[in-house]
Chains A and B, each alone.
Chain A
Amino acid sequence: MKPPARPNVRSVDVALNDSLLTALTAVVGSDRLLTAADDLIPYSFDGTAAIRVRPGAVVFPLTTDEVAACVRAAAEAGVPIVTRGSGTGLSGGSVAAPEALVLCLARMNRILEVDAENLTMRAQAGAVTMKIDEAAARHGLLYPPDPGSMRISTIGGNVAENSGGLRGLKYGVTRDYVMALEVVLADGRITRFGSACVKDVAGYSLKDLFVGSEGTLGIITEVLIKLVPKPAARRTMLALFDTMESAASAVSAIIAAKIIPCTLEFLDRTTASCVEDYAKVGLPTDCEAVLLMETDGHPAAVADEAERMAAIAAAQGAREVRTAKDDAEATNLASARRNAFSALARRRPTTILEDVTVPRNRLAEMVTFIAETAARHHLQVGTFGHMGDGNLHPTFLTDERDEAEMARVHHALDEIVTKTLEVGGTITGEHGVGLAKKPWLRQQMGDHSYELMREVKRALDPKGLLNPGKIFD
């Protein structure tokens, strides 16, 4: 099968029609509407490599009503809308479409309420994930989903991508924390789904339809999220391995031993040395794989689990298991790990990362396959990931200007994806389909499910104006 080429659309310089611009100015005023080339070029991309499309205009609403008014104006003009948070997405989800209106929610960033009695928080969709976690911490609470980008990603973006994080193994992903959503639909109607109740089975769970919908079904303007009590204790360890396979087996063995640590993160040697280059936190750079392991909860349980995890790692061939000496060191290690993807960009001009996820007993096999594939195509790869979730991020270090090498990258990606599907995995564990994974979606879902999804899209967005061209054409 011929690997599908990644889209790389060059910027087209077209302004939106005047009547739409006038209507938008009436909604937000001229200082929250960008139309000049110099202002738009920086909105041509998100965190995804090698995809750039310049939008027609960018607008910054502050309230749900303003969002609704902008959507109505765009719908009337028949202009596509691309919703954007902080633009850290890794599947091209918030990359504009030519002549599209970018609705940037980064300024709708207010945390509206922390309800410490009911353990919930209400926030505008543009609130930054880290600020949400900090606000929770002030009440002795925790917002667990902590994507690597949490310092800047928005909660709306997290919900739209159903993002995972370093604590996903024990705490789950964004979906597990969404209790209710306020959503502006494609025609400008303002709707609310879900409630503040722990249990709620009234009607279809439509809020779940919007989680992971990548801006294609509606614009999330407000979220009600669940918080959990901050665990009393935690322990963070680093296990060093001489082969990637033994690290993968250690993960499978820990899970098989019925331990659910909060974090089991994997870094191969290339990734670990790039991260260490940047963060200088004492990550070992002379072993083939490092596992960052963390357990949290009741102090007694933490002590017990930490001991058993260390023993299992050793039994699976860990050369050494180190324990972080204090909370500060533990936090530094986790923050360093969050930068893994960006740190890999130190090596080569272009970094193209994958997001494949497999059942956890197939991890060792997958890790080996990735290394072999890269070698076969003479490519440099750095692999890291949320190994406890079976989620791997093989990242090709390449140069988009080298066409021959890019072609080899696409072949390698295609082989990795095919293998993933073979072992019962998924083409994306947390970054979404967007533009980058579109070519493989039908293959994974099968014709019927794929068509059903398109029917849902058509029902909610009959004119196809919301983030067109993302997930499917």
Chain B
Amino acid sequence: MANVTLKTIDYAILQQCMHCGMCLPTCPTYDETTHERNSPRGRIALMRAIADGDLEVNRTFADEMSYCLGCLACETACPAGVQYGKLFETARADIERSGINDNLSRDFWRTLTLKILFQRPSLLRAAGAGLRVYQRTGLESLVRRLGLTRLLPPSLRRVEPQSPPIAPKFSNALIRPTEVPTGTPRFRVALLTGCVQDLVFSDINRDTADALLANGCVVETPPVQPCCGSLHAHNGETKLAEALARRMIDLFPPAKYDAIISNAGGCGSHLRHYGPLLADDPAYRERAQAWDRKLRDVHEWLVQIGARAPTASPFESPVSLTYHESCHLVHGQKITKQPRQLLRMIPGVTLTELPEASWCCGSAGVYTITQPEQATKLQERKTANIIATKASCVATANPGCHLQVLRGLDAAGAKIEVAHPVSLLARAYRRETK
């Protein structure tokens, strides 16, 4: 897997695209520009031209693949079954290998984030803690007010106002390594705490544990967990992604659990594919396949085990709710019904469908940093749709989307709560006893 390039990839995968154009109306970048190059079939045509030797992996191609959100809406839309996700990751890996994107400040940030921080959970938490102090102490607003950010290199300047509010406590402080449900345990599950989820939304991890406990699951949450490697695979660092996958499998032997639970759409869609990622590694291949079979998105799992409907409402008064689909949940994992099913189960809540619910919000991993302009356009479109539903709470199940939607609503001055579906569920369970 690691060495696959556009030139060596099974040509049938490229040929699978019969350029019918059925994916065009679902592609946010084509919608923006009406240029074929910015469309799924256009991008595949460029990849095929590279495979054929008609085109080099060049600057324009790198820009094009950076402009692509990787939202995989095209994969859902494609009747021909084109594996765009695979082509996308292969293309980005080719670009990384070619060195086109290399420049000093980018290298520094890439190394710091992908190769250091997102490799070592303790460092990531330390960095998060530092950021927390920076945000808490008011230093943040001081620095911003004094215009000190202007001293930062431009790439960092764009990142800085993006740095998410760090949670007061990380998951390891909120969840014990093993927690058992009251009553007879029915299942044993592992809870993956994620990276961004852990730093920014550790309370969602707590809520996930609670929802699982309320449904008879023994929840195992090792305090220190490696990153799943999704950011790496998505950004062309295949080798790192493989190494991380091995560490995950070592920490969570699949045979030990009934299910391995992810609550972040973006991670889940990568986590489900350790099998193909480690297909060339005889020592891990089988365990990786077993892992894939055990991996469950939390909504999927809760519906599968027949989660019980809470008897209390998470809200004081009846609330109109809407649901924004994380791309990697809906397109990457094809999970659409289950989150809605869980939300409908909650008393005191009416679910209104969000127009364009599965249209990307522009978060898309590091897209807000690499393509701020397009990211903002998508954010504004999403925000307008949410406001139009008149809902007072929007549920979404991926930390990137969560932040993006939160900021969008904030910028529009809309007082609408953003919550993970499982948080609402957990809150409802908790209020049962009150």
Q: Which residues in A have some Cβ–Cβ distance to B below 8 Å?
A: 11, 34, 36-39, 41-47, 49, 60, 86-88, 104, 106-107, 128, 130, 149, 151-152, 275, 277-279, 339, 341-343, 345-346, 349-351, 399-401
User: Chain A contacts of B58 at CB under 8 A?
Assistant: 38
Q: Which residue of the partner chain, among B11, B18, B24, contacts A345 with CB atoms under 8 Å?
A: B18
Is the pair B80, A346 in contact by a Cβ cutoff of 8 Å?
yes
Residue of A nearest to B14 (CB): A349
A-B pairs with beta carbons under 8 Å apart, 8 shown: A38-B60, A43-B36, A47-B18, A87-B19, A106-B34, A152-B24, A349-B15, A400-B15
Residue of B nearest to A88 (CB): B21
Is the pair A341, B20 in contact by a Cβ cutoff of 8 Å?
yes
Is the pair B21, A149 in contact by a Cβ cutoff of 8 Å?
yes
Query: Smallest Cβ distance from B100 to chain A, in angstroms?
Result: 13
Query: Smallest Cβ distance from B7 to chain A, in angstroms?
Result: 16
A41 to B79, CA, bound (A): 23
Is the pair B45, A47 in contact by a Cβ cutoff of 8 Å?
no
Contacts A41-B55, A46-B19, A342-B18 known; list 6 others, CB within 8 Å. A38-B64, A41-B46, A41-B49, A42-B45, A341-B20, A349-B15
A345 with B16: in contact, given A39-B35, A60-B34 (CB under 8 Å)? Answer: yes
Query: Smallest Cβ distance from A400 to chain B, in angstroms?
Result: 8
Is the pair B34, A152 in contact by a Cβ cutoff of 8 Å?
no
A206 to B79, CA, bound (A): 38
A42 with B22: in contact, given A11-B54, A278-B81, A339-B79 (CB under 8 Å)? Answer: no
A277 to B78, CA, bound (A): 12
Is the pair B36, A346 in contact by a Cβ cutoff of 8 Å?
no
Q: Which residue of the partner chain, among B21, B34, B41, B45, contacts A107 with CB atoms under 8 Å?
A: B34
Instruction: Name the interface residues of B43-80: CB closer than 8 Å to any CB of A.
Output: 43, 45-46, 49, 54-55, 58, 60-61, 64, 78-80
Q: Which residue of the partner chain, among B24, B34, B55, contacts A38 with CB atoms under 8 Å?
A: B55
Residue of B nearest to A346 (CB): B81
Is the pair A342, B60 in contact by a Cβ cutoff of 8 Å?
no
A275 to B22, CA, bound (A): 14
Is the pair B20, A88 in contact by a Cβ cutoff of 8 Å?
yes
User: Is B222 part of the binding interface, using a Cβ–Cβ cutoff of 8 Å?
Assistant: no
1/0 per residue B1-45: CB within 8 Å of A? Answer: 000000000011001101111101100000000111101011101
Is the pair A343, B80 in contact by a Cβ cutoff of 8 Å?
yes
A88 to B39, CA, bound (A): 14
A44 to B19, CA, bound (A): 11
User: Chain A contacts of B61 at CB under 8 A?
Assistant: 38
A400 to B12, CA, bound (A): 10
A234 to B275, CA, bound (A): 47
Question: Of A37, A107, A342, which is in contact with the most chain B CB atoms at under 10 Å from its CB?
Answer: A342
Is the pair B18, A278 in contact by a Cβ cutoff of 8 Å?
no
Q: Which residues in B have some Cβ–Cβ distance to A below 8 Å?
A: 11-12, 15-16, 18-22, 24-25, 34-37, 39, 41-43, 45-46, 49, 54-55, 58, 60-61, 64, 78-81
A87 to B41, CA, bound (A): 11
User: Chain A contacts of B79 at CB under 8 A?
Assistant: 275, 278-279, 339, 341-343, 345-346
User: Chain A contacts of B35 at CB under 8 A?
Assistant: 34, 39, 42
User: Chain B contacts of A47 at CB under 8 A?
Assistant: 18-21
User: Chain B contacts of A351 at CB under 8 A?
Assistant: 18
Question: Of B24, B34, B80, which is in contact with the most chain A CB atoms at under 10 Å from its CB?
Answer: B80
Query: Smallest Cβ distance from B68 to chain A, in angstroms?
Result: 13
Query: Smallest Cβ distance from B331 to chain A, in angstroms?
Result: 14
A349 with B12: in contact, given A45-B19, A86-B21, A152-B25 (CB under 8 Å)? Answer: yes
A339 to B36, CA, bound (A): 21
User: Chain B contacts of A37 at CB under 8 A?
Assistant: 55
A106 to B39, CA, bound (A): 13
Query: Smallest Cβ distance from A31 to chain B, in angstroms?
Result: 10
Query: Smallest Cβ distance from B15 to chain A, in angstroms?
Result: 4
User: Chain A contacts of B22 at CB under 8 A?
Assistant: 88, 149, 151-152, 339, 342
A128 with B25: in contact, given A341-B20, A342-B18 (CB under 8 Å)? Answer: yes
Is the pair B25, A350 in contact by a Cβ cutoff of 8 Å?
no
Is the pair A41, B54 in contact by a Cβ cutoff of 8 Å?
yes
Query: Smallest Cβ distance from B91 to chain A, in angstroms?
Result: 13
A36 to B61, CA, bound (A): 12
The 6 lowest CB-CB distance pairs between A and B, nearest first, are A42-B42, A42-B36, A342-B79, A345-B80, A349-B15, A339-B79
A339 to B78, CA, bound (A): 9
Query: Smallest Cβ distance from A283 to chain B, in angstroms?
Result: 13
Is the pair A45, B81 in contact by a Cβ cutoff of 8 Å?
no
Question: Of B16, B22, B34, which is in contact with the most chain A CB atoms at under 10 Å from its CB?
Answer: B22
User: Chain B contacts of A87 at CB under 8 A?
Assistant: 19, 21, 36
Query: Smallest Cβ distance from B87 to chain A, in angstroms?
Result: 14
Query: Smallest Cβ distance from A154 to chain B, in angstroms?
Result: 11
Residue of B nearest to A47 (CB): B20
Is the pair B16, A149 in contact by a Cβ cutoff of 8 Å?
no
User: Chain B contacts of A38 at CB under 8 A?
Assistant: 37, 46, 55, 58, 60-61, 64
Query: Smallest Cβ distance from A464 to chain B, in angstroms?
Result: 26
Is the pair A44, B45 in contact by a Cβ cutoff of 8 Å?
yes
A34 to B35, CA, bound (A): 9
A42 with B80: in contact, given A107-B34, A152-B21, A349-B12 (CB under 8 Å)? Answer: no
A123 to B363, CA, bound (A): 35
Is the pair B37, A42 in contact by a Cβ cutoff of 8 Å?
yes
Query: Smallest Cβ distance from A318 to chain B, in angstroms?
Result: 27
Question: Of B16, B25, B35, which is in contact with the most chain A CB atoms at under 10 Å from its CB?
Answer: B35
Is the pair B18, A42 in contact by a Cβ cutoff of 8 Å?
no
User: Chain B contacts of A400 at CB under 8 A?
Assistant: 15
A277 to B79, CA, bound (A): 9
User: Chain A contacts of B36 at CB under 8 A?
Assistant: 42-43, 87
